[in-house]
Amino acid sequence: MTPQWDDLRVFLAVARDESLSKAAARLKIDPATVGRRVARLEDAYATPLFQKSQAGYALTDMGQRLMVHALRAEQSMEMAAEEMSGTTGGLTGQIRIGAPDGAANFLLPQVCAQIGEENPELEIQIVALPRLISLSKREADFVVAVSPPTAGRLMVQKIADYHLSLAGSEEYLAKYEPIQSVRDLQNHRIVGYIPDMIFDKELDYLKEIGLEKPNLGSNSVSVQMNWVRQGGGLGIVHDFALPSVPGVKRILQEQVSLSRAFYLVRHEDDKRLERLNRFAEALCNGLRKEVMRLEALT
């Protein structure tokens, strides 16, 4: 049997969302219709494509095999649409970016707003998740990562270096004797990541400066920043985020200064899509300029 593209489109939505109802919402059709389309494919191939459970729909081995071909079909459809519509005008359609919440909160909104203003027909979505985001399942078109992946059919380009510092609120610092060295931190409350929820080793900032675990922990950068801002303790913060939190100042700058980098990660199959190439260039240029602008203000 040669599957119809419409059925493969439904199959891809279920595979990505692991749910009939979520796939139906994505496709704007009835969940019962989604179920019938999946059943039709399974009947045609005489094999289950999903393992159904209370947790949702997980791909079987045969489903994984079909996924490869369905993604290629999707790429072909996108390339055909792009070629027929031309690429000389503004960017259109939907583009989804996955990013750690430091970038998602303090960089991507203004950068993407500018890209959106220049391309009014473009819909941009930012997925801020404190975990790795799957490009193979098409959870996003792009991922901004803090370390380059080493496996998978992926394209990786470095966006920019950025810096982090130890900081505290002026109110908190006024309560204590001046902090002269990293050893003095043992007498202070520390804000940071929950150790067993650090999804990338590059985020283990406290270990790098010799601290074991935070007194106040969260998997969210914005929560950590609010703790620091409200005087809960001292924490490692992004220099590019400091202009948005007046009253928070860096300390021990000569002893504690961390450097990291952002990388843009894409699926290799997307390299022939001019629309995504153009967006990638605009995004990288915008992020580089914004990191430099904000860090210059600190």
pLDDT in tens, 33-61: 999 999 999 988 899 999 988 888 999 99
Residue 138, pLDDT > 90, answer no
Asked if 105 and 128 count as a contact pair (C-beta separation under 8 A), the reply is: yes
CB 106, CB 240: distance < 8 Å: yes
DSSP per position, the chain = ----HHHHHHHHHHHHHSSHHHHHHHHTS-HHHHHHHHHHHHHHHTS-SEEEETTEEEE-HHHHHHHHHHHHHHHHHHHHHHHHH-SSS---EEEEEEE-HHHHHHTHHHHHHHHHHH-TTEEEEEEE-SS---TTTTS-SEEEESS---SSSEEEEEEEEEEEEEEEEHHHHHTSPPP-SGGGGGGS-EEE--GGG--SGGG-HHHHTT----SEE-S-HHHHHHHHHTTS-EEEEEGGGGGGSTTEEEE-TTT-EEEEEEEEEEEGGGGG-HHHHHHHHHHHHHHHHHHHHHHHT-
Q: Is 80 exceeded by the pLDDT of residue 74?
A: no
Query: 19-23, 75-79, 234-238: which has the highest mean pLDDT?
Result: 234-238
Q: What is the mean pLDDT of the chain?
A: 89
Who's near 95: CB < 8 A, 6+ residues apart? 122, 123, 124, 125, 141, 142, 276, 279
Q: Which residues of 33-56 are buried (b: 16+ CB within 10 A; e: fewer)?
A: ebbebbebbbeeeeeebbeeeeee
Residue ranges and CATH numbers for the domains of the chain are 5-85 (1.10.10.10), 93-160+261-296 (3.40.190.10), 162-258 (3.40.190.10)
What confidence score (pLDDT) does residue 1 get?
Answer: 58
pTM of the entire predicted model:
0.74
**Span of 37-46, 69-78, 98-107 with lowest mean pLDDT:** 69-78
Question: How high is the pLDDT of residue 268?
Answer: 83
Residues 184-228 have pLDDT tens digits of 998 899 999 999 888 888 999 999 998 888 999 999 999 999 999
**Residue that the structure tokens 């021990």 belong to:** 252
